[in-house]
Chain A
Amino acid sequence: MNEYVIRFSVRQRLEHVCVMLLFIVLGVTGLAQKFFAARWAQWTIAALGGIDRVRWCHREAGILFAAVAIAHLAVGMMLVISGRARPSIVPTRKDFRDAVIMMRYYLRLSDEQARFDRYDYRQKFEYWGLVLGSGLMIVTGFMLYLPVLATRFLPGEIIPAAQMAHSNEGLLAFLVVITWHVYNAHFSPDVFPFDVTIFTGKISAERMEKEHQLEYARMEGDAQQEHQTPPEIEQDRASAHG
């Protein structure tokens, strides 16, 4: 029962902690600016030492966030290109099929559940939502930070449009995190009260088998491959790439 496998590397865990902390700083200082007319926002801004300091924190955290995002994508792509990691986070046609299977399961149209590889379609959705959302936040954020520079190359109306997008995308990200992410990491009956895998890097073999069957099978296969390759696992592997 105490068997576990290592799911996340130290780099991945560190990235998660960085993103989490920066997300909190950016969320607090950003939402307080978005809803500046509300009392809670004014209280927050005053508690943090005034609007100038709130803006400074927001911008510095934004710069760090951009750095983390760029480093993450650069390292990730490098690992995939050099063949040291599989592009397991890239969405495939199987993800759409899995989503349909799971929808049918939730609606009790069937009892069949999808079998997932390293990342299931929900995790991929959240990851790419974060990546694309971050891209938008970083680009619009720098436009708002340096409007004089931005309008040297772009039409002026891009600035208020960037402001509208940055403000709404930020709100969307906040709402996704407090509903979807908090549910999946804390309140989902599968992990309640706290899925610590992203912090410890460890996941129980039991959960692996249940939630990431295909990957688990492949890991088992790789372990046994040194001796012999069971044919049924090879099959799984083929379907995982299909």
Chain B
Amino acid sequence: MVLAGLVTAAVTVQAVAAASDHPPSALCMACHGNPTFAAKLGDGEKLSLYVDGKQFAHSVHGGKLACTDCHSDITAVPHATKRFPNRHAVELAYYELCKQCHFPEYSRLLDGVHYAEISKGNQSAPTCVDCHGSHAVAPPARPRALISRTCAKCHTAIAAAYIQSVHGKALLEQDNHDVPVCTDCHHPHDNSNPLAASWHLGIPQLCARCHTNKEMMAKYGISTLVLTTYLSDFHGMTASLQRSEKRDRRELTATCTDCHGVHDIARIDGASSPVIKANLLTTCRRCHPGAGANFPSAWIGHYEPSPKHAPLVYAVKIFYMIFIPFVIGGLVLQILLHLWRVVVNR
């Protein structure tokens, strides 16, 4: 009797294994192919257990994986019933299955803010399937705008700002592939905390990845001097030095996004641009509350001083380029003459 049972089990396993070549397995689909097949979760929510066979076949895994390649704990049909308190618990029980193949992504995830939330027990923190889907896994960036739509499922307010921004509009209206989608700035798996000081102080280098690309910026007539002119000025110097201190701090110097906006970043010549002359004082006052009407022009823009831009600064610069060598040269000459005469006198 016991022996017979074992034999039956072995035969069943074999049957499941054989089905691997033709996923999704007909055996599994006998139940999971029924659109009304569902289970009740601990919190009362109904969890559909239906798998759309066609959808799976068209997914990136279609023809490559069998049901049991991921659901490897299922060795016999019918299998034991599992109980979960809620949908999040279901995901937590299954998301580690992905690492069998996608280990690099999984290990990066462990460094990200989403994983930090998962490990804190945050019920709304996303696991693999929240972004990539489960049975209908599609290439994440086809089309490119899909990435932003994926993040928008949770980050609704940011997504709403982004689609109005110069980057978002170009992406959605012109399918522009130069503009950044969410994951160009925020790593998809090991996304670091964008509220941390280290993130804020690294923004200039982040924006510079595209904004110092001469070829790309030439298309839009945007200066590539934005980084160097920023870094050589007071704010940029402060950001560089604060960044190298590697400690958390409350008061941070202004970086790109403090003036230009973050997800709502606008064209610099648009009426709503925070850096257009009419709005600049308001922008400066966010950090410099007492600033008067003259204050914004203390920032000469992302320009090198020249006779055209900031002529006074340029004049001072040229003056010292001549004056310093003149004075020091004269003094050194006098020292040398003095020494020479002392030697000659001997």
Contact = CB atoms under 8 A, between A and B. Distances in A.
B38 interface: no
Interface stretch (A15-23, A71-79, A104-112, A216-224): A104-112
Interface in A136-182: 147-149, 151-152, 154-161, 163-165, 168-169, 171-172, 175-176, 179-180
Interface string B224-245: 0000000101100110111011
A9 B238 CA distance: 43
B313 A36 contact: no
A51 interface: yes
B344 interface: yes
B241 A189 contact: no
Contact of B294 (A45, A151, A169): A151
Contact of B335 (A46, A50, A179): A179
B312 A161 contact: yes
A25 to B, nearest CB: 18
B342 interface: yes
B297 interface: yes
A147 B324 contact: no
Nearest to A180: B331
Given A46-B244, A161-B316, A164-B305, A106 B294 contact: no
A2 B312 CA distance: 56
Interface in B277-307: 288, 290-292, 294-300, 305
Given A157-B313, A164-B320, A172-B320, A188 B338 contact: yes
A149 B298 CA distance: 12
B300 A157 contact: yes
A154 B332 CA distance: 38
A156 B298 contact: yes
B292 A189 contact: no
B232 to A, nearest CB: 9
A33 interface: yes
A42 interface: yes
B1 interface: no
Contacts of A50: 241-242, 245
A151 B295 contact: yes
Describe B's contact surface by its main secondary structure. helix
B292 A51 contact: no
A169 B320 contact: yes
B295 A189 contact: no
A148 B324 CA distance: 30
Interface residues of B, number: 44
A175 B324 contact: yes
A180 B335 contact: yes
Interface in B314-345: 315-317, 320, 323-324, 327-328, 331-332, 334-335, 337-342, 344
B241 A51 contact: yes
B41 interface: no
A172 B310 contact: no
B295 A147 contact: yes
A42 B241 contact: yes
B340 A163 contact: no
A8 interface: no
Interface in B231-262: 231, 233-234, 237-238, 240-242, 244-245
B328 A156 contact: no
A183 interface: yes
A46 B292 contact: no
Question: Considering residues A45, A164, A180, which has the most beta carbons from chain B within 10 angstroms of its beta carbon?
Answer: A164
Contact of B327 (A37, A156, A165, A172): A172
A148 B328 CA distance: 35
17 contacts: A42-B244, A106-B338, A148-B288, A157-B297, A157-B298, A157-B300, A159-B298, A160-B298, A160-B300, A161-B312, A161-B313, A163-B234, A164-B313, A164-B316, A172-B320, A172-B327, A176-B331
Given A46-B245, A156-B296, 16 more contacts: A46-B244, A51-B242, A147-B288, A148-B291, A152-B292, A156-B297, A156-B298, A157-B310, A160-B300, A161-B315, A164-B313, A164-B316, A169-B320, A172-B328, A179-B331, A183-B335
* Pairs A-B, 10 closest by C-beta atoms: A156-B297, A168-B320, A159-B298, A106-B337, A51-B241, A156-B298, A151-B294, A164-B316, A151-B295, A180-B331
